[in-house]
Amino acid sequence: MNKSTIKKVNFPISSKCLDEILIRYEIDLDTISIRELNRLVDKLSVEYSIKFLRFEFGVPGINSSPIGPSEEIKVIKNNIKISSTYPPFDGLQRLKKATSDFLEKYINIQVPSSSCIPTVGAMHGGFICQAICGRRILGAKTILYLDPGFPVNKLQAKFLGLEVESIDLYDYRGIALINKMESCFIEKNIGGVIWSSPNNPSWVCLKEAELEGIGKLLTKYDVIGIEDSAYLGMDYRTDYSEPGKPPYIPTIANYTKNYFIIISSSKIFSYAGQRIAVTIISPDLMNKRYENLKKYFDTDKVGHAFIHGGIYPTTAGVAQTAQHALAALFEAASIGEYNFLDDVKIYRDRAKEVKSIFKNNDFKLVYDQDMGDPISDGFYFTITKTGYKSSEILFHMLRHGMAGIPLNTTGSNREGIRICVSNVSVKDYGILSDRLNILNSYLNQL
């Protein structure tokens, strides 16, 4: 029997066969993690000789600009000490300055270099931010998540021994969101709030009025906001791509002094491989003191706790050359030589196309509205099939050579699947259409 025959016989994978495979690998689609799903899809691809459409990966789908790699080569060649010298815990002055300039040009806020701290990817920043937020005040060890969200942030809270609460952005937007948040803050157990805008996976973007409301609450209740800007400026309904000119990218920094902002290089600069990001600590927060921090960080001052109590004992700084790469990217973007938002705009075009193929096959968007406007097109969107649970939709997608993340694992209380478009290309559109068509016909026959 040759390969193509196997393929024809076995594809789509029968429900019986997939059930058996899931039992064999002890996998429960209701609780599957991204990595388990990755491994399952790898195995199915081999076993059934099928190239899956892998919507489950949330990874850059394009190459990074040559600016970063060239810079790394340059600094290695020009500075013989770069590999032997410990980086400063609070980061290289060049990157700190470049971050400060970039913030001014793209989000129109003024923060000194000293407030910009490089971290080993945004993960590292989010880890330390949550550690500080949840350990400032005795009794306020809960992190509030504006969900759906990136599941690993909750794993970080778990590592840190913190508690977790969640508000689903499907249920609360605008004034309802602010009121709901205030009802949480009143309990005095919330140390920090974390969100991403655009949101992973719904691509919901918080409105200025919402940021304003959140900012006021953060100040009023002395809670810290963690703005995870993983997809900074990637709401393409507004063009934020011109440095130093309005419109500027919205930020909580305009509405409170109680903030951390995390800027990752992974998505906006497609620079995931060298693990480099920056956390911006509000200049006021930097010098704020909380007695309870001492127990964990040997200091009561937030900025010192972040750097000497956070960066130092976890990684003792960030790889030197990666810091130069990110500095060069920020510098090129700030002077308008590198239009990073234009580079990643391709995700918008893919989302538009892929979304319409799903819709043409009786799938619906879960998070379809952004306070009255249709949701923006970007890195992710969310689909569902009326009458089916997340795990059931995933089950049938897998049978038909497609994978995505069940929404329940993202903290959403809705049934559906996260679709990441970073790895699809034009040539996949026809295949997707065919597979969804077969899947749809199958479900309609049931």
- For the four alpha carbons of 22, 27, 33 and 39, in that order, the dihedral sign comes to negative
For a second copy, the closer of residues 11 and 296 by Cβ is: 296
With binding defined as CB under 8 A, does residue 139 bind a second copy?
A: no
Question: CB 247 → a second copy: shortest distance, Å?
Answer: 28
With binding defined as CB under 8 A, does residue 346 bind a second copy?
A: no
**CB contact set of 351 (below 8 Å; sequence gap of 6+):** 203, 377, 378, 379, 380, 381, 421
With binding defined as CB under 8 A, does residue 155 bind a second copy?
A: yes
Q: Which stretch binds a second copy (CB under 8 A): 93-101, 123-131, 178-186, 244-252?
A: 123-131
Question: Closest by alpha carbon to 252, among 318, 189, 192?
Answer: 192
The length of the chain is: 446
Q: How far is 155 from 202, CA to CA, in rounded Å? A: 20
With binding defined as CB under 8 A, does residue 80 bind a second copy?
A: yes
Encoding tokens for residue 387?
């009458």
With binding defined as CB under 8 A, does residue 342 bind a second copy?
A: no
Which residue do the tokens 């009326």 mark?
386
With binding defined as CB under 8 A, does residue 156 bind a second copy?
A: yes
- For the four alpha carbons of 427, 428, 431 and 436, in that order, the dihedral sign comes to negative
For a second copy, the closer of residues 12 and 317 by Cβ is: 317
Residue 283: cis peptide before it, omega within 30 degrees of 0: no
Q: How far is 97 from 114, CA to CA, in rounded Å? A: 8
Judged by CB under 8 A, the residue of 53, 116, 319, 394 near a second copy is 319
**Contact indicator for 64, 269 with CB cutoff of 8 Å:** yes
With binding defined as CB under 8 A, does residue 138 bind a second copy?
A: no
Answer left, alpha or beta for residue 339, where phi above 0 means left and psi between -120 and 50 means alpha.
Answer: beta
With binding defined as CB under 8 A, does residue 345 bind a second copy?
A: no
With binding defined as CB under 8 A, does residue 26 bind a second copy?
A: no
Question: In this structure, which amino acid lies at residue 245?
Answer: K
Q: Which stretch binds a second copy (CB under 8 A): 100-108, 136-144, 270-278, 397-405?
A: 270-278
Q: Which stretch binds a second copy (CB under 8 A): 14-22, 69-77, 207-215, 394-402?
A: 69-77
**CB contact set of 303 (below 8 Å; sequence gap of 6+):** 114, 115, 281, 285, 286, 287
For a second copy, the closer of residues 271 and 381 by Cβ is: 271
Judged by CB under 8 A, the residue of 17, 21, 76, 431 near a second copy is 76
With binding defined as CB under 8 A, does residue 309 bind a second copy?
A: yes
Judged by CB under 8 A, the residue of 161, 336, 374, 430 near a second copy is 161
With binding defined as CB under 8 A, does residue 271 bind a second copy?
A: yes
With binding defined as CB under 8 A, does residue 16 bind a second copy?
A: no
Site size for a second copy, by CB under 8 A? 61
Angle between helices 346-360 and 428-445 (to 10 degrees): 30
Binding site for a second copy (CB under 8 A): 33, 35, 59-60, 62-64, 68-69, 72-73, 76-77, 80-87, 89, 120-121, 123-124, 127, 131, 152, 155-156, 158-159, 161, 266, 270-276, 295-298, 308-310, 312-322, 325
